[in-house]
A and B are shown apart, each in its own frame.
Chain A
Amino acid sequence: MTPPDRLPGSKIPASRMNFGMSRPGGNSAGPESPEEAEKKETLAPDAKIDLAKERAETGIDDVFSALDSELVGLAPVKNRIREIAALLLVDRARAQFGLSTSRPSLHMCFTGSPGTGKTTVAMRMADLLYRLGYLRRGHLVSATRDDLVGQYVGHTAPKTKEVLKRAMGGVLFIDEAYYLYREDNERDYGQETIEILLQVMENQREDLVVILAGYKDRMDSFFVSNPGMSSRIAHHIDFPDYTLDELDDIGKLMIRAEGYQFSPEAEKTFREYLDRRMKQPRFANARSVRNAIERARLRHASRLMGAEQTVGKDELTTLLPEDFRGSRVFANSDSSADSDDPLASDDSLAD
């Protein structure tokens, strides 16, 4: 071995001089892989497995409590996820008895309006499948048409395969998947992507899980044009729109996370805002709530700057009704809206 002091001026720290050779078995061992855990002997036919204990060992309850605390509403989605988790857990128990369990198809399709939490649930799903041992890494790779479809002949396949390789061991989340297929152009390269996807979804089921997402009606027509895709997806999960109460809860969760609070009157104004905003076009559920809060923060900040007085913690954290009244949503009928508010004109698009 060359002692490190033989190389004066070298910027490589002495600890790097071994080129990683001394590390095997050291810090990078990581948790025991699921395959090794599964190689345990088959149990006797009269043995008993404590499913609750198995469940606790996988730590999926953490995922469920995170789902419950971070995601408001979405009861049908949560139920479906619980069902899938139960199936996978029972399959694991069956495998311990040596019962044949074909690996269930885990590809999914999330449909729903914008802002209903499809991406968030996909991330939780990746975590859940990792904990259950159905994914080796549990990361999420997000892709849209741009990432998958090439621009000239021969460009698509390498591009799609590269994304697939990155997603191996985790979840490939394809947002607005219906853009992959353009029915008006039969020579569109998207068709090639779909074919490669189908092949991988069928042959490398143990390597990755594909989740497609998009609006319900457009996904339906996508599946009509691509029946092979529809039949390879086992779980079609529909995300319902949020109710007013749920949106209210989401807003409260968001401002708490940002370190703000509503004044008692602002709470009512916020609810009224949501009620009006829901009836307007281009309402994007939780995303609209987030935008409304962002704009309220802007108005809150300019209000404090304009007041020219000393501020304490209460003033810095409390949103008042006028922070919401400035919105265009209140502009039509509400006389208390401040029409001189410079931010009101910025709201011309949506929120």
Chain B
Amino acid sequence: MHITQGTFSYLPDLTDDEIRKQIQYALDNGWPCSVEFTDDPHPRNVYWEMWGLPMFDLEDAAGVLAEVNACRKAKPEHYIRLNAYDASYGKQTTALSFIVQRPSEEPGFRLDRQEWHDRTIRYTLHPYVADQPHGERYNGHK
């Protein structure tokens, strides 16, 4: 199941060149960028792990792209996303956020039903990979 999230979720995955242009667009607007990764694809998991600190005072996309590639190399089977923050509101506001890498296989979600009182049914989504502990999901890549 192809998981979508963030700014360009309705588009096919961006190529590296398109990613570079989006980063440059963010930097031209004065938005610092940061890289985050996770192996927990649940849509309500909003706090992904940070790959280093947000990068401030950058002029050119090459610096951010180098961090994206370093993260890809270290986490080849994780979801990786790029965030750009707009500080002009006086607080950390995500102005742009999109996925720059996804695992080679995405098993998707199972629908769990729970019997509740008065024949009520409660539904929840359960990612198949969540059955494995952290670090062993997605082909065992850490």
Contact = CB atoms under 8 A, between A and B. Distances in A.
A169 B60 contact: yes
Contacts of A170: 59-60
Contacts of B61: 168-169
A207 B59 CA distance: 11
Contacts of A204: 62, 66
B95 to A, nearest CB: 6
A317 B59 CA distance: 41
A12 B89 contact: yes
A28 B59 contact: no
B3 interface: no
A207 B28 contact: no
Contacts of A12: 89
Given A12-B89, A20-B86, A20-B95, A207 B29 contact: no
Contacts of B67: 165
A165 B86 contact: no
Interface in B122-137: none
Interface string B53-75: 00101111111101100000000
A13 to B, nearest CB: 11
Interface in B61-110: 61-64, 66-67, 86, 88-89, 95
Given A12-B89, A19-B95, A20-B86, A168 B58 contact: yes
A325 B64 CA distance: 56
A166 interface: yes
Identify the interface centre among B28, B63, B67: most chain A CB within 10 Å of its CB.
B63
Say whether chain A's binding surface is mostly helix, strand, loop, or mixed: loop
Identify the interface centre among A24, A28, A139, A168: most chain B CB within 10 Å of its CB.
A168
Contacts of B60: 136-137, 168-170, 207
A165 B70 CA distance: 13
Contacts of A281: none
A28 B58 contact: no
A166 to B, nearest CB: 5
Given A164-B63, A165-B66, A20 B29 contact: yes
A30 interface: yes
B29 A165 contact: no
B58 A166 contact: yes
B34 to A, nearest CB: 12
A28 B28 CA distance: 7
A134 to B, nearest CB: 13
Contacts of B25: 24, 28
Nearest to B84: A20
A208 B61 CA distance: 12
A166 B59 contact: yes
Interface in A272-297: none
Contacts of A20: 29, 86, 95
Interface in B1-38: 25, 28-29
A74 to B, nearest CB: 28
Nearest to A35: B17
Contacts of B66: 165, 168, 204
B138 to A, nearest CB: 28
Nearest to B95: A20
B111 to A, nearest CB: 33
Nearest to A19: B95
Interface in A12-36: 12, 16, 19-20, 24, 28, 30
Interface string A151-176: 00000001000101110111000000
Given A20-B86, A28-B25, A30-B28, A168 B63 contact: yes
A170 B86 CA distance: 24
Interface string A92-125: 0000000000000000000000000000000000
Given A24-B25, A170-B60, A165 B95 contact: no
Nearest to A30: B28
B98 to A, nearest CB: 14
Given A30-B28, A166-B57, A207 B95 contact: no
20 contacts: A19-B95, A20-B95, A24-B25, A28-B28, A136-B62, A137-B59, A137-B60, A158-B52, A164-B63, A165-B55, A165-B63, A165-B64, A165-B66, A165-B67, A166-B58, A169-B60, A169-B61, A204-B62, A207-B60, A208-B62
What are the 8 A-B residue pairs with the smallest beta carbon separation, nearest first?
A169-B60, A165-B63, A168-B62, A168-B63, A168-B60, A207-B62, A137-B59, A137-B60
Interface of B: 25, 28-29, 52, 55, 57-64, 66-67, 86, 88-89, 95
